[in-house]
Amino acid sequence: MGRERRGKLVSYCPDIKVVDCTLRDGGLVNNFAFTDEFVKDLYLANIKAGVDYMEFGYKASKEIFNPDNFGKWKFCNEKDIRAIVGDNKTDMKISVMADVGRTDFKKDILNKKDSVIDLVRVATYINTIPAAIEMLEDAKKKGYETTVNIMAVSKVNDDDLDGGLELLGQSSVDVIYLVDSFGAFYPEQIERLCDKYLNIAAKYNKKIGIHAHNNQQLAFANTIEALSIGASYLDATVSGMGRGAGNCYMELLLSFLRNPRYNKVAIMNFVEKHMLKLKEEGAVWGYDIPYLLTGTLNSHPSSAIQFIKENRTDYAMFYQELIDNTL
Beta bridge partners of 173: none
Angle CA(19)–CA(22)–CA(26) in degrees, nearest 5?
Answer: 140
**What is the amino acid identity at position 87?**
D
CA distance 91 to 57: 19
User: Residues 147-172: pLDDT tens digits?
Assistant: 999 999 999 999 999 999 999 999 99
> Domains of the chain (ranges plus CATH)?
17-280 (3.20.20.70), 289-326 (no CATH)
Confidence of residue 6 (pLDDT cuts 50, 70, 90): low
Q: Give the rounded percent of residues in the chain with a pLDDT score beyond 90.
A: 93
At residue 112, the 3 state secondary structure works out as helix
Q: How large is the average pLDDT for residues 259-264?
A: 90
* Per-residue pLDDT at 9 exceeds 80: no
Answer yes or no: are the C-beta atoms of 222 and 193 closer than 8 Å: no
User: Residues 45-89: pLDDT tens digits?
Assistant: 999 999 999 999 999 999 999 999 999 999 999 999 999 999 999
User: Residues 177-226: pLDDT tens digits?
Assistant: 999 999 999 999 999 999 999 999 999 999 999 999 999 999 999 999 99
Beta bridge partners of 20: 54, 236
* Dihedrals phi, psi of 147, to nearest 5 degrees: -135, 160
* Dihedrals phi, psi of 28, to nearest 5 degrees: -70, -15
**What is the amino acid identity at position 31?**
N
Q: How large is the average pLDDT for residues 119-123?
A: 98
* Per-residue pLDDT at 8 exceeds 80: no
Measured CA to CA in angstroms, residue 267 lies from 50, 54, 73 at distances of 10, 13, 20
Strand spans (E) along 28-132: 53-58, 93-99, 119-124
Give the DSSP per-residue string, 32-52. T---HHHHHHHHHHHHHHT-S
How many other β-carbons are positioned within 10 Å of the β-carbon of residue 301? 22
CA distance 215 to 21: 17
